[in-house]
């Protein structure tokens, strides 16, 4: 059984969290932000950005964010993602989920993890939604898209934020 997908996003400025979550109405969820580090351009006129002319844009770790607030946050200018960990809860308050078994036994609907700027892992309990997310990743021209299978030992080691 398919439990998630993994793929690569470009190592560049963009709105990649928005792009990844495009099939989802993020306002319908409560979100647990376990860690996120991204940068926005402080001066849009500079063509070659270095860390010195970027502004760090962080949401506090372990913050619970309502969907409308997350939507507002993600609709800022383009950003450069270093890492990100988001967990979506539909009908309940977000709780701490650190392992695959905790994820399976929780009300967490899906988890999004981005690390090393480009590596994306998305776990999703809703098979139809997982298909939509996979189709969206293909339409977005993300690379190396692969399903994570339940019987794959790797799925038990997936990094949960």
pLDDT score at 57:
58
Check residue 19 and give left, alpha or beta (phi > 0: left; psi -120 to 50: alpha).
Answer: alpha
Residue segments in the chain with a per-residue pLDDT below the cut of 70: 41-62, 153-161
Q: What pLDDT digit, counting tens, does each position of 93-111 carry?
A: 777 787 888 888 889 999 9
Domain count, the chain: 1
Global pTM value: 0.84
59's CB contacts (< 8 A; 6+ apart) are: 33, 36, 65, 73
pLDDT score at 104:
86
Q: What pLDDT digit, counting tens, does each position of 39-56 carry?
A: 776 654 444 444 444 555
Phi, psi of 124 (to 5 degrees): -150, 130
pLDDT score at 92:
72
Host domain of residue 56: 2-157
């Amino acid at each position: 059984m398919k439990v998630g997908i993994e793929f690569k996003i470009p190592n560049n400025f963009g709105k990649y969290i928005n792009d990844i979550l495009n099939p989802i109405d993020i306002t319908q969820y409560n979100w647990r932000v376990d860690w996120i580090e991204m940068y926005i351009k402080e001066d849009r006129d500079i063509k070659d950005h270095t860390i010195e002319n970027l502004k760090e844009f962080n949401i506090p770790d372990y913050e619970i964010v309502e969907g409308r607030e997350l939507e507002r946050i993600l609709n800022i200018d383009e950003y450069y993602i270093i890492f990100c960990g988001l967990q979506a809860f539909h009908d309940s308050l977000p709780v701490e989920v650190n392992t695959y078994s905790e994820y399976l036994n929780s009300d967490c609907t899906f988890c999004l993890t981005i690390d090393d700027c480009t590596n994306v892992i998305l776990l999703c309990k809703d098979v139809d939604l997982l298909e939509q997310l996979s189709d969206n990743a293909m339409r977005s021209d993300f690379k190396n898209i692969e399903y994570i299978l339940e019987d794959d030992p790797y799925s038990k080691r997936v990094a949960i934020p």
